[in-house]
Structure 1
Amino acid sequence: MTPEQLALRDAVRGLLDKHSDVRAAIETPRGYDEDLWGRLCGIGVLPIPERYGGSGAGLPETHVALGELGRTLTPAPLLSSTLAARALLATGDEDACGRLLPRIADGVVAALVWPWDNRETTVDGTARYVLDGDLAEILLLADGVSLYEIDLGEPGVTREHTPAMDPTRRLATVHLAGATATRLGPWSPEVRDIALAALSAEQVGAAARALELTVEHTKTRVQFGRPIGSFQALKHRMADLHVLVETARSAALAATGEVAAAVAKVYCSEAFFQVAAEMVQLHGGIAITWEHDAHLYLKRAHGSAQLFGSPRDHLRRLSP
C-alpha cells in the first residue's frame, strides 16, 4: 500500500479500536452506530469525487477501510453506499450525481436493488437480501440495462428488515407495487466487478483478524502443561491458514476486471470460511458461546460467501 493508504488504514483502525462495539451496534434499531458512521464518512472512505462533496478517495482507499471494518465485523453501510455511488457515477448523469452524491458523502445511506428483472417504468415485485435496504434514504434499482431511482415517498414502496444468520450484516426485503422508477442512465456491468472486489477486501480483513485471535488463544490456552500453540500439529494448521490469508490478500489486491474480481470472490470466500471454521475448532467449546466472537466470524464468512452470488455461481459463469 502507498503511504497515504497506510495512514488511512491506521486512522480507520484507531477509530474502530476506540468506538466500534459490534454487539452494541447489532442490538440498536438501525443495526449500526450512526455516530461511528458519521466519523468514517468524515475520514473520507467513500469513493466520491471532490466535485460532488467527497474526499476524492478511490476504490483502493475504500477497500482499505472495508478491510478494517471486516477485521472488527463493524456493522456500517460502507459497502452498500459504495456500490450505489459507483453505479451513479457510471451513468454519467451530472444532474443525478450532483443531487445524490453529496448526500451520500455526508453519510446518507444509499442502497442498490440489484439485479432486477422487471424493465417497466412502473415497478412491481420483491427484492430480497438488499444491503441496508430498509434504512436507505436513497434507493437505486438496476435491471441490467439501466439504473433507476425509486421514490421512497410513494405508498407502493415498503421495506422490512430481514433477519439473517449473520447479525452483523443488515439485509432487507424491498416490496415494490406500482412504484415509479426514474431512469438515471445506463447500468455498467463493471459495478458487479466493483462489488466482488470490495467484498473480497472485507473478507480478507476478517479472515486475517480471525487468524490473529486464534494464534493469540493458542499461546495462552494450556493443555498437558504447555500452551497448545506449541504442539506441532497445531503449528502446521495455523501455518496453512496464514498461507490462505496471504494468498487471499493477493487475490483481493489483484481484483481488477471481470475474471480477476470473480476469482477473488471465489478464493476469498473459501479462504475466509476455512479460517473461520478453524477458529471455532481451535478455540474449543468457548467458540460456540455467545460471549465469544468466533461464531460471529463464522456467520459472516457463511453470509458473505453467498452475497453477490455464491462461489459456485461465479465458477459456472466463467466456465467455457
Structure 2
Amino acid sequence: MTDTAESRVDATPISAEEREALAEAIRDLVDRRADSASARAAMTATPRLDRGLWTTLCTEIGVASLPIPEEFGGAGATFAETAAVLEELGRALSPVPVFASALATAAVLLADDADISRALLPDIASGQRIATLCWAGPDGWARPGVTADAGLLTGTADYVLDGESADLLIVLAGGADTATLHAVDATAAGVTVVPLPVVDPSRPLARIEFDEVAAQTISSGPDLTGRLRTLAWALLSAEQVGGAAAALELTVDYTKSRKQFGRIIGSFQALKHRMADMYALVETARSISRAAVAAVASGDPNADELAAAAHVYCSEAFTTVTGEGIQLHGGIGITAEHDIQLYFKRAHGSAQLFGQPHEVVAELNRVVLR
C-alpha cells in the first residue's frame, strides 16, 4: 500500500489483547445469534444474507467501521481487526457481507480522496449501506470485466461477493494495469444483478451487468488492483484459518463420540496422527496469515510476498484439513445434514478467489526468475 493509504488505514494501533477481546466478542455473538440452523436458513433466503446478524454486528460491535478513519464515521482501527473478525465469522460460515464490505472500503481508502471518502464511507461504516467490489472479468481477477467510457460503465463483473444484497457498487474498470475506480448505486438504471448458483452456499456470488451506467469516477493511484489483491489475499487467509479451525474441532468432537469395534475411534493411534497433522496445518496457517495481515496493515515492503504466500498456504491447508475431516467422519461426512461438508465446499470455493494457488505460485516464479 502507498504511504498515503497507510496513514488512513493504520490510524490507531490496537494491542493484541484488544484484538483478542474483539475476536471473543464476535465469537460470543455468533454463538448466541447465529447457530448452524440460522446460517443454513440464511443460505437459502432471498437475498442470501443473515440480515439480523449483519445489523447486530454493525450496531453493537461496529465491524464495518473498523478500518474506516474516525473522520469518516469509522472506528479508526486497521484491517488487522477486520481480519480478526473474519477469522471468527469463518469459523461459523456466517453469511454476512463483512469481507465484501472490507474490500469495497479498502478500494475507497486506497483512492485517498477525502471528498469521496466523506460521501461514501459513513454509510458503509454504520452498516446502512452494504458495499461490494465489482472486480473479476471473464478471465478472473487478472483483468476487470467492465470498461469505462466518459463516465459510463459497460460490461460484466463476475463472482461479485454478496452482490445480490449490496446497495453500493465499487467498480474496477479498464485493464489490468490501467484500472479506474467508480461508484454506482446498485439500483441505478442499466445495472442488472444476477445471483449465481454456487457450490458453496455460504458464499453468495453474483454476476452484475452494466449497460452504459452513469457512475461517479474515483481518482486512484497506480497499481490499484495489485494493492487490492494483496489485501484480499491477507483477509481471505484469516477467514480460511477460522474455517479450518472449525473443521478440525468438528472432526475431533466426532471422533470422541463415534464408536467402532467397541472403541471410540478417536483412541485409534492412526487417527490421532492424522488429527495431529490437521492441527499442525491449522496453526501454521494461522501464523502465516497473521504475519501477512500485520504486514499489510503496517505497510511492510514484504506485504505482497507474505500475502501471496498466505493465500497459497492457507488455501491448501484449508482444503487438506476439510478433506481429512470428511474422511474421518466417514459416510455421514458427505451428507447434506452434517456441517463438515459445508466447510469442505467453502475451502474449495475460497481457494478460487483472487487467483488460484497454482496461478499465484507460477506468478511468483516468473518474478523470481525475471
TM-score normalised by length of structure 2? 0.84
Aligned to 2:139: none
- Would you say the 8 A contact 1:148–1:181 is kept in 2? yes
- 1:318 CA displacement: 1.2
In the other structure, the counterpart of 2:130 is 109
Among residues 14, 19, 23, which one is paired with 2:40 in the alignment? 23
Contact kept? 1:151, 1:179, Cα under 8 Å: no
Aligned equivalents of 2:189, 2:255: Cα separation in 1: 55
Q: Which moved more, 1:239-248 or 1:142-151?
A: 142-151
Matched, 1:53 2:73: yes
Give the CA deviation at 1:183: 1.3
Give the match for residue 172 of structure 2.
Answer: 142
1:305 to 342, 351, 354: 351
Aligned-residue CA RMSD in angstroms?
A: 1.4
Does the CA-based 8 Å contact 2:23-2:85 persist in structure 1? yes
SS in 2 for 1:284: helix
State the partner residue of 2:208: 174
Find the partner of 1:68 among 70, 85, 88: 88
Distance in 2 of aligned mates of 1:86 and 1:24: 30
Partner of 1:296: 342
Alignment of 1:170-209 (within 5 A): 170-186=204-220, 188=224, 189-209=226-246
Instruction: Please report the TM-score for the alignment, with normalisation by the length of structure 1.
Output: 0.96
Structure 2 equivalent of residue 275 of structure 1 = 321
| Aligned match of 1:242 | 279
Question: Is 1:94 aligned to 2:111, yes or no?
Answer: no
Per the TM alignment, residue 58 of structure 1 is displaced from its structure 2 partner at its CA by 1.1
* Conservation of the 8 A alpha-carbon contact between 2:130 and 2:168: yes
Once the 2 structures are TM-superposed, how far is the Cα of residue 75 of structure 1 from its aligned partner? Answer: 0.7
Contact 1:149 1:182 in 2 (8 A): yes
Q: How many positions carry a matched residue from both structures?
A: 320
- 1:232 aligns to what? 269
Instruction: Using the TM superposition, give the Cα deviation of residue 151 of structure 1 relative to its aligned residue in structure 2, in angstroms.
Output: 4.2
Could you tell me how far 1:180 is from its partner in structure 2? Answer: 2.2
Runs of 4+ with deviation above 3 angstroms: 151-154
The residue number in structure 1 matching 2:161 is 131
Q: CA deviation at 1:119?
A: 4.3
Deviates more, 1:251-260 or 1:186-195: 186-195
Runs (5+) with no aligned partner, structure 2: 1-14, 137-143, 296-302
- Shift in Å at residue 233 of structure 1? 0.6
Q: 1:149–1:184: 8 Å Cα contact kept in structure 2?
A: yes
Cα deviation for residue 247 of structure 1 reads 0.8
Q: Between the two proteins, what is the percent identity of the paired residues?
A: 50
**Secondary structure, aligned partner of 1:32:** coil
TM-superposition CA deviations, 1:203-251 (whole Å, max 9, x none): 0000011001101111111111111111111011111111111111111
Q: 1:146: Cα distance to partner? A: 2.2
Distance 1:151 1:275 in 2: 40
User: Aligned partners of 2:235 and 2:185: how far apart in 1?
Assistant: 27
Match of 1:319, SS? helix
In 2: Cα distance, 1:195 partner to 1:82 partner: 9
* Among 45, 51, 62, the residue aligned to 1:44: 62
Letter in 2 for 1:57: A
Contact 1:151 1:180 in 2 (8 A): no
Picking from 239, 259, 267, the partner of 2:305 is 259
Report SS of the residue matched to 1:306: coil
The range that moved more, 44-53 or 104-113, is 44-53
Amino acid in the other structure paired with 2:218 = L
| Cα shift at 1:30 | 1.8
How far 1:160 moved relative to its partner? 1.2
Structure 2 residue aligned with 1:314: 360
Deviates more, 1:135-144 or 1:247-256: 135-144
